[in-house]
Structure 1
Amino acid sequence: MEDTTTAWRRSTFCASGSCVEIAHVDDLVKLRDSKNPELPPVVFTLREWTGFQERVLAIGKSS
């Protein structure tokens, strides 16, 4: 079932509508696929989310 109560956001760079979306819920960050919102999101603590972002940015800089 799709979550209709959480405020999901996607990047302003998302032109196609097929992007990941994030939501901040209490001290957690949820990540989901906008094409499949009925699937359960990946849930990060704030510390995990920061580490995830840092790693993604590092990968982007190395390619």
Structure 2
Amino acid sequence: MRDAQVKTKGRPFLGIFFECCQVYQRIYREPDATRYQGHCPRCYRSIRLRVDPTEGSNCRFWRAL
């Protein structure tokens, strides 16, 4: 098996640290690929992040203030 050619499968996600409850949660990209959407697992505060097709970020982990 060539590690360089192994592709990951599954739904794209971002790791979010919710400051409100001091917890980590993954949020997943919507099927239409226009946004990531999720919520805090404790207080259910929602979060939405728009996907910009022209500019992006290599960062996969974020903080929700």
- The bucket for the TM-score relative to the shorter chain is 0.3 to 0.5
TM-score (norm 2): 0.34
- TM-score w.r.t. the length of structure 1 is 0.35
The structure with the largest strand share of the pair is 2
Greater relative contact order structure (CA < 8 Å, 6+ sep): 2
Higher-Rg member (1/2): 2
